Structure 1
């Protein structure tokens, strides 16, 4: 009855199922790994956002890189804003509005900290400089989320030359530091509060959306593993259907032969 399993068509089907099972398994395992990675990342960022602020020089220093695990930690720094070297970052959105981030160096005794003071709307044209409220004068204490320098790898943004003066595409701290007259901390600070507050100011950025902690990857992992059951179940269903059809065919032949006799 089951000799048909050795036919060329069925051997091809056996091989296909044998290839699909480990493929679906490893795809599910890869998505599970992404789920674990993103869940851990989400937990870490949530804890960093909830932690008490610490001086920036406890987590970062001049010429260094912000440790991966310290992203979004709340830090404080005290110094004076240097508006002469202020920059605006093009093509940044807030609530679906296109505009600029405003990056102003805060000069401290330990070195300058680049402070992303927030978002301002775009000017009349793409290349026009936006209207940027001035920061407080004199000594200022800022509190904000510590961020690593932006690069093409961690943002997907490609920088280019020929931009209008004072405009950039990435908060690439080492590159920005090349044009400044003082040493600069390795990361930058995303402002959440400052004392004194001053007058009008750029719109502060919201905290990061930590999402579902990789929940989508978990769903994909389960989906790939369910495909294993579908592949095996389909193979069994086709096998049983083929066997049923063969039995029906043989029964019909037996009835025909009996009638002929």
Structure 2
């Protein structure tokens, strides 16, 4: 009854099945590995940020450029405060509020964005304390520049003057008249009674949407395996039934079973 398996058409079907199953298993395993790597990166980054609180601050210039190894590390920098901006739409401890961001003009000629603290409510310049005057030395956690999509950061645009959506050199260079470091610092202790903003894990090291996309792709690839096996058995059964009916003389013209017919 199953001699039809030796026909050219079924040779093609069988080869396709034998090749597609291991390919789908490989792709599913690869996506699962990507998800597990992101989970491990998240654990490592969280531990790094926690341990960094107890490390001795190092000069800013020694920790640039910011990468996964230096993100969250304590740094120190000196200069004078300049322009002050607000970063709206930032949550802390489940409450909506905004960051108070002040540019620290250093001796290098570049300004360092410093998040001096967080305040609750809508962004309002009248609520933000003025920065200290004169030469200051700040100590805080080094952070990589933000991009839209990181930690809920929205795209720049439509904000009032004196506000920015993202803390990045690309955004701030259009708002201040001098060069800005491609990094920022959040103070270890909130300035002027504001609440300190805790250091965040480096970009692409958390359990974000990309990580769960990898997990979703894993499920899809393994579902493809089940679908291929299901369709092979369905085609086999329909073909066997057609051959059996022909042998019993129940049909006059044997019609080969197609994929479309099997699906119906």
> TM-score over 0.5 for the alignment?
yes
Whether the 8 Å contact between 2:112 and 2:184 is mirrored in structure 1 is yes
Whether the 8 Å contact between 1:48 and 1:71 is mirrored in structure 2 is no
> Structure 1 residue 103: deviation in Å?
0.6
- TM-score, normalised relative to structure 1: 0.65
1:190-214 Cα deviation digits (max 9, x unpaired) = 22x24xx654114524644965698
> Structure 1 residue 113: deviation in Å?
2.0
The within-5 A match list for 1:63-142 is: 66-70=65-69, 72-79=71-78, 82=81, 84-110=82-108, 112-123=111-122, 129=125, 131-135=127-131, 140-142=136-138
> Structure 1 residue 87: deviation in Å?
0.5
Matched, 1:56 2:54: no
Q: Write the distance in 1 (CA, Å) between the matches of 2:207 and 2:120.
A: 30
Q: Write the distance in 2 (CA, Å) between the matches of 1:231 and 1:164.
A: 53
Whether the 8 Å contact between 1:173 and 1:188 is mirrored in structure 2 is no
CA RMSD of aligned residues (A): 4.4
Structure 1 counterpart of 2:257: none
The within-5 A match list for 1:199-238 is: 199-205=192-198, 207-208=200-201, 211=206, 216=212, 219-220=215-216, 222-227=218-223, 229-235=225-231, 237-238=233-234
- TM-score, normalised relative to structure 2: 0.64
Q: Secondary structure at the match of 1:164?
A: coil
Structure 1 counterpart of 2:144: 148
2:185 pairs, out of 189, 198, 204, with: 189
> Structure 1 residue 178: deviation in Å?
6.0
Residue correspondences, number:
240
Q: Secondary structure at the match of 1:167?
A: coil
> Structure 1 residue 115: deviation in Å?
0.8
> Structure 1 residue 222: deviation in Å?
4.8
Structure 2 residue runs of 5 or longer lacking an equivalent are: 251-264
Matched, 1:159 2:121: no
Q: Secondary structure at the match of 1:68?
A: coil
Structure 1 residue runs of 5 or longer lacking an equivalent are: 61-65, 255-261
